[in-house]
Amino acid sequence: QKEVEQNSGPLSVPEGAIASLNCTYSDRGSQSFFWYRQYSGKSPELIMSIYSNGDKEDGRFTAQLNKASQYVSLLIRDSQPSDSATYLCAVNPGGFNKFYFGSGTKLNVKP
């Protein structure tokens, strides 16, 4: 059973703060990891992908991967109300390009 776990939230942060979203996965052999943002009633939008241990930064977003701990996180710096959405973690365990999704963490950024 390949599981991806996320805290459902909601995670509430004030505008300008750092939001930290976490994800754990069960398959130790997983090779690639993705963060999607999903606004209410909309489809998932790819934010970041990360494949190697460590940090990967893109603008206000930083993805962090620790394969030994089977843990991936997304940091959002200078959070804005427009960042309020559900953030989905997706894991590819390897082999065919099949993703396993977490149920998402709902983020509320308060003005």
Contact residues for another protein, defined by CB under 8 A? 4, 8, 31-32, 34, 36, 41-46, 49, 51, 88, 90, 92, 94-99, 101-104
- Shortest CB 97 distance to another protein, Å: 5
- Shortest CB 24 distance to another protein, Å: 14
Closest CB to another protein among residues 63, 111: 63
Q: Following DSSP, what letter does each residue of 29-77 receive, concatenated? A: T--EEEEEEE-TTS--EEEEEE-SSEEEEETTEEEEEETTTTEEEEEES
- Shortest CB 82 distance to another protein, Å: 18
The residues, any chain, with a CB within 8 Å of residue 32's CB and separated by 6 or more, are 49, 50, 51, 91, 92
Instruction: Find residue 5's DSSP bridge partners.
Output: 24
Handedness of CA 90, 95, 98, 102 (dihedral sign): negative
Closest CB to another protein among residues 73, 102: 102
Closest CB to another protein among residues 90, 109: 90
By the 8 A CB rule, do 63 and 35 touch?
A: yes
Closest CB to another protein among residues 9, 71: 9
- Shortest CB 13 distance to another protein, Å: 20
